[in-house]
Amino acid sequence: MSRTIDWDGDAVVIVDQCALPESYRTLRLTTIDELVDAIKRLAVRGAPALGAAGALGVAMSARLHRGPGGTTGATDATNAVAADAERLASARPTAVNLRWGVERALAALPRGADAVTAEAVAMLTEDELVNKQASRNAADLVLRHCSRRPLRLLTHCNTGRLAAVDWGTALGVVRHLHAAGHVEYVLADETRPLLQGSRLTAWELAELGVPYRLLPDSAAPAAMATGLVDCVLVGADRVAANGDVANKIGTYALAVAAARHHIPFFVVAPESTVDRELPDGSHIVLEQRPAEEITHVAGTRVAPQGAQVFNPAFDITPAELVTAVVTEHGVLHVRS
Ligand code: MRU
C-alpha cells in the first residue's frame, strides 16, 4: 500500500503509525469509534492525512446510516451523520485540515452517501497532487535562497508520505531536491515526546535513500551554530491569516535559533492548512496531550509519582520568524 490512508469498500484503511518502525502494517477501520480512536492515539496523524481521515470518516458514517433506498435523506440519519462528523472534527483540535475534510465531505450529504464517498475519495488524489506542487514550489525557493550545494537540511516531526495521503510536504521538498541530486544530508529532529522524527521521518528517509542523521531536538541550535545547516524545512497544522504557524512542539525554538543564525526557515503546507478566518496565531487552539507521554518512556515511569506536566502537542511560530510559507499556489507569506 503506497497511500497512508485509503478507502476500501466500506472501510478506511490506514498505515498504523504506532507500529512503525518495527512493523509496517495496515489497520482496517469500519466504525467511527475505531477511526476517532486511531486519530486520538496518532495511528493516523499529520495535518493532510487528518483531512483525508475526516472526509473518509464522514463517507463511512453516511454509508452506515443510509436508508434502504441508498439515500441518507431521513432526518434521523442526517442528524446521526452530523453527530459523527462533529466527533471526527473535534478528535484533535489544532490541525485545521481535519475539520476542513469533514466539512467538505459533509457538504455532499444532501446528494446521498455515494456522493459523499466520491467527494472523499477525490480528496485523496487531490492531496497527493497538491502536496507535490507545494513541495515543488518550496524546492524552487530553497534553491534560490541557499547557495551551497549540495544542501544540508534540517527538519522536525514527520511531514512525509506518512503525514499525508502520499508524498508529503516539507519532506516532499527533500524528495524533489534529492531527486535532483541537491541533498548532502538531512538532520532529522527526533521530535520529543512521541518521536515522529526518529520513528517515522528516519524510516521514510531510509526508504528514499536520503543520507540522514537523527539528533535530539535540543541539539538543533548547536547544529546551526556549528554551520551544519543551510536551511530548515517544516510543515504546519494551521497557518493564520497573518502567517503565524502552528506546528509540532519545538518548531518555535527551531525558528528562534534559525533567525539567530540567519538560516532560512521555510514552512510548507497545502492551502487546506491555511485558516484565513483566524487573524493571528493567538487564536489557534493548541492540543494538550496526556501527562504519561512525559512521565513515561516506552511504558516505564521516568518521573516521580504526582509530577505535574506541561505537554502541548504544538506551538506557535510568529510570522516574523518564518522566511516563507509555501503552498501549492506559491509563496503565501514572505518575511519582510
Ligand atoms: O501530532 P502530529 O504527529 O499529528 O503532528 C504533525 C505535525 O506537527 C506536522 O508537522 C504537521 O501536521 C504537518 S504534516 C505534513
What is the mean pLDDT for each group of 10 consecutive residues in the chain (336 residues)? 90 98 98 98 98 98 82 80 98 98 98 97 98 98 97 98 98 98 98 98 98 98 98 98 98 98 98 97 98 96 97 98 98 76
- The answer for residues whose C-beta is within 8 angstroms of residue 257's C-beta and 6 or more apart is 220, 221, 224, 225, 263
Q: Looking at the structure, do residues 28 and 152 belong to the same domain, yes or no?
A: no
Residue nearest to atom 10 of ligand 1 (CA): 235
pLDDT at 177: 98
Boundary (domain end) residue, out of 100, 127, 154: 127
Q: Is 93 in the pocket of ligand 1 (CB under 6 A)?
A: no
pLDDT at 236: 98
* 45 among annotated binding-site residues: yes
pLDDT at 311: 98
pLDDT in tens, 302-328: 999 999 999 999 999 999 999 999 999
Q: Looking at the structure, do residues 116 and 176 belong to the same domain, yes or no?
A: no
Q: Looking at the structure, do residues 85 and 96 belong to the same domain, yes or no?
A: yes
* 196 among annotated binding-site residues: yes
Distance CA 28, CA 156 (A): 29
Boundary (domain end) residue, out of 74, 108, 127: 127
Q: Is 196 in the pocket of ligand 1 (CB under 6 A)?
A: yes
Q: Looking at the structure, do residues 142 and 207 belong to the same domain, yes or no?
A: yes
* 247 among annotated binding-site residues: yes
Q: Looking at the structure, do residues 189 and 46 belong to the same domain, yes or no?
A: no
Closest CA to 202 of 21, 42, 43, 19: 21
Active-site option among 189, 237, 244, 315: 237
Q: Looking at the structure, do residues 307 and 165 belong to the same domain, yes or no?
A: yes
Q: Looking at the structure, do residues 243 and 189 belong to the same domain, yes or no?
A: yes
- Nearest-atom number in ligand 1 for the CA of 314 is 8
- Cβ–Cβ under 8 Å, residues 198 and 188: yes
Residues 210-215: contacts with CB within 8 Å, 24+ apart?
A: 210/174, 210/178, 210/183, 210/185, 210/186, 211/183, 211/184, 211/185, 211/186, 212/185, 212/186, 212/187, 212/188, 213/185, 213/186, 213/187, 213/188, 214/188, 214/189, 214/190, 215/187, 215/188, 215/189, 215/190
Query: Grid coordinates in use for 17?
Result: 503509525
Q: Is 164 in the pocket of ligand 1 (CB under 6 A)?
A: yes
pLDDT at 2: 77
- Nearest-atom number in ligand 1 for the CA of 169 is 15
Q: How far is the centre of ligand 1, averaged over its atoms, from the C-alpha of 147 (Å)? A: 29
Length of the chain equals 336
Q: Is 248 in the pocket of ligand 1 (CB under 6 A)?
A: yes
- Cβ–Cβ under 8 Å, residues 258 and 335: no
Give the number of domains in the chain: 2
pLDDT at 317: 98
Q: Is 237 in the pocket of ligand 1 (CB under 6 A)?
A: yes
pLDDT at 332: 87
* 79 among annotated binding-site residues: no
Q: How far is the centre of ligand 1, averaged over its atoms, from the C-alpha of 70 (Å)? A: 37
Q: Looking at the structure, do residues 219 and 84 belong to the same domain, yes or no?
A: no
Does 33 participate in catalysis according to the annotation?
no
Q: How far is the centre of ligand 1, averaged over its atoms, from the C-alpha of 163 (Å)? A: 7
Q: Is 172 in the pocket of ligand 1 (CB under 6 A)?
A: no
Q: List the CATH number of the domain containing 318.
A: 3.40.50.10470
Boundary (domain end) residue, out of 127, 146, 180: 127
Domain that holds residue 45: 5-127
Q: Looking at the structure, do residues 139 and 76 belong to the same domain, yes or no?
A: no
Q: Is 176 in the pocket of ligand 1 (CB under 6 A)?
A: no
Q: Looking at the structure, do residues 318 and 176 belong to the same domain, yes or no?
A: yes
Place of cell 514552512: 267
Pairing of strands 151-155, 183-189: parallel
Q: How far is the centre of ligand 1, averaged over its atoms, from the C-alpha of 155 (Å)? A: 12
Q: Looking at the structure, do residues 185 and 238 belong to the same domain, yes or no?
A: yes
Q: List the CATH number of the domain containing 116.
A: 1.20.120.420
pLDDT at 310: 98
Q: Looking at the structure, do residues 144 and 94 belong to the same domain, yes or no?
A: no
Count other Cβ atoms within 10 Å, centred on residue 296. Answer: 14
Q: How far is the centre of ligand 1, averaged over its atoms, from the C-alpha of 48 (Å)? A: 9
pLDDT in tens, 230-271: 999 999 999 999 999 999 999 999 999 999 999 999 999 999
